[in-house]
Structure 1
Amino acid sequence: MKKKILSAILASTVVLGAIGLTGCGNKEAAQPAEKKKIVVGATPEPHAQILEKVKPILEKKGYTLEIKVFDDYVIPNTAVEQGELDANFFQHIPYLEQFNKEKGTHLASVAKVHLEPMGVYSDKIKNLKDLKDGATIAVPNDSTNGSRALRLLEKEGIAKFKEGELITKLDITENPKNIKIEELEAAQLPRTLKDVDAAVINTNYALPAGLNPTKDALAIEAKDSPYANIIAVKEDNKDKEYIKALVEAINTPEIKKFIEENYKGAIIPSF
């Protein structure tokens, strides 16, 4: 009886060992093929439009680009975090960093693509050096765009402000011309040009008013602005080959030319 039990145990061991070896062999045979389909979430305009021009460039590299369009700023980020999207294209770095902080996500920027520039406009002067003592400049009253506007004025030497991501007119540290800052609803700023000496206006409000940032602005945000729109991915994937291919494709001369010719200064390349 003992011999029969021992024989059964030995037989079971041999079978299990064979299964284990077969399992190992299958794992090696089941290594995933290199990823050739890239799924990117984007808002409609101009992001999805730009990505459509990226498609044929990626095809030449052996990749298929699928674009999923969103009208929301939260879902594209959570979808990247959860692996439902490989990347997204709609936001700038300050928004991304704040989102990571608030939501506990692990997203990273891998490429700057374009800037929707904020510019300084005036109906009364042709050069910011002509601003008189006590002149009034209107800026957006929301925290992000207001801070952008004030930093642009600082860059032009009009006034200085304390350090920090978000600032207001109360944070002025130097004001040699005693400039008055008027904080107004961003959409109203083009209509205030007749009443103020200058206004800092977002491009999406400047264009409908017949203002082109590259032609009419007395000063404009630089290409290295932190508010450039970016390609965002999950941190763990930023060095993957398919992400590198996406970055290379969207930062090509062809895409730069498309942005410059199609949007005519409404947005400008950031690469």
Structure 2
Amino acid sequence: MISRISHQLRRVAAASAYAVLFAGSAMAADTLSIAATPVPHAEILEFIKPQLAKEGVDLKIKVFTDYVQPAVQVNEKHLDGNFFLHQPYLNEFKKSHQNDLEVPVAKVHVEPFAAYSSKYKKIADIPAGATVAIPNDPSNSGRALLLLAKQGLLKLKDPSNISATKKDIIDNPKNLKFKELEAATLPRVLNQVDLALINTNYAIEAKLNPVKDSLFIEDANSPYANLLVAREDNKNSPAFKKLIAALNSPEVKKFIEEKYKGAVVPAF
């Protein structure tokens, strides 16, 4: 009888030890908190989240609707990384903000920048004195001016300068009037202006198809690949390496191509 009880106690102890070990291993999963804008960034992260969970990475996706806080939160170490910006934006952001920790670790996709109009169907129809809404952050305002210049709507001192400003315009034959606004608000003012140059993530959120609905769009050679960004102190962590591999996988490439149908293009 004593022997039987002793055996049962050993079994209970072993089961308890296994439970503790299992719980410990479950709690040992690496957690990564990544800032992203809703479309397509958060959608892409949601797609790879189940696979990362199988690999021991608990991916926390923090969604932001602006372009400032995702960078600030990572630099202040409130979050591990972000996925929403391109290199020209990061360069300009570091000039205007205290930001010395963020480093790009992977190119993921390109969102071809495009111009939209609810009033005109052709570039030739844009009238003299037209009001053109563009993003107010330096890298994307420069991007907008480059695209307008490529369509012959204005001329810049240096047509390859991605940091061009309105001061760099040397010829404005249609006397275009510029309205610089926060990028996220541009779809909402589309019917109030003659032309709006809108970042693709915000265009998609507003149910605009950059391929079908735009008046003109960047070509595939755009230098504005969207990046996964880490901090200097965590860029080589095993969890980040798994995240990079997942974002640059054939599965994600297929997901981007099938879901966004040219509005978002893989950059790997």
Give the direction of change, closer, same or farther, for the CA distance of 1:63–1:99 in structure 2 (3 Å limit).
Answer: farther
Written as runs of structure 1 = structure 2, the 5 A alignment for 1:223-234 is 223=220, 225-234=222-231
**Residue 7 (structure 2) aligns with:** none
Provide the aligned C-alpha RMSD in A.
3.8
Once the two structures are TM-superposed, the CA of residue 213 in structure 1 deviates from its matched residue by 0.7
Query: Equivalent residue for 1:139?
Result: 133
Report deviation, 1:257. 2.8
Counterpart AA for 1:253: P
Distance in 2 between residues matched to 1:48 and 1:157, nearest whole Å: 35
Q: Secondary structure at the match of 1:103?
A: coil
The aligned length equals 229
Checking the alignment, whether the CA contact within 8 Å between 1:58 and 1:249 is kept in structure 2 is: yes
Task: Find 2:62's aligned residue among 69, 75, 85.
Answer: 69
Identity %: 41
Cα displacement (A) at 1:92: 3.0
Map of 1:40 onto structure 2: 33
- The answer to whether the 8 Å contact 2:32/2:58 transfers is yes
2 CA distance for matches of 1:80 and 1:210? 29
* Deviation of the 1:108 alpha carbon: 0.9
* Structure 1 equivalent of residue 254 of structure 2: 257
Tell whether 2:86 aligns with 1:92. yes
Distance 1:222 1:232, change over 3 A: farther
Deviation at 1:97, TM superposition (A): 2.7
- 2:135, 2:198 within 8 Å by CA — same for their partners in 1? no
Residues 140 and 189, structure 1, Cα contact 8 Å, conserved in 2: no
Query: Could you say which structure has the larger radius of gyration?
Result: 1
Tell me which amino acid in the other structure corresponds to 1:121: Y
Verify: 1:153 aligned to 2:153, yes or no. no
Where does structure 2 lack aligned partners over 5 or more consecutive residues? 1-27
Alpha-carbon deviations, 1:208-253, whole Å to 9, x = none?
Answer: 7764211122321345545443211123544455433322210223
TM-score, normalised to structure 2's length?
0.65
Unmatched segments (≥5 aa) in structure 1:
1-34
Name the stretch that deviates more: 166-175 or 72-81: 72-81
- Amino acid across the alignment from 2:245: E
Q: Deviations over 1:120-152 (max 9, x none)?
A: 2355444x4x46895746232624343221111
Residue 151 of structure 1 aligns to a residue whose secondary structure is helix
In the TM superposition, 1:93-242 aligns within 5 A as 93-101=87-95, 102-122=97-117, 123-126=119-122, 128=123, 130=124, 134=128, 136=130, 138-140=132-134, 142-144=136-138, 145-163=140-158, 166-174=163-171, 178-184=173-179, 185=181, 186-187=186-187, 189-192=189-192, 196=194, 198-203=195-200, 206=203, 211-223=208-220, 225-242=222-239
Mapped contact 2:102–2:231 kept (Cα < 8 A): yes
Q: Structure 1: how far apart are the matches of 2:264 and 2:67?
A: 19
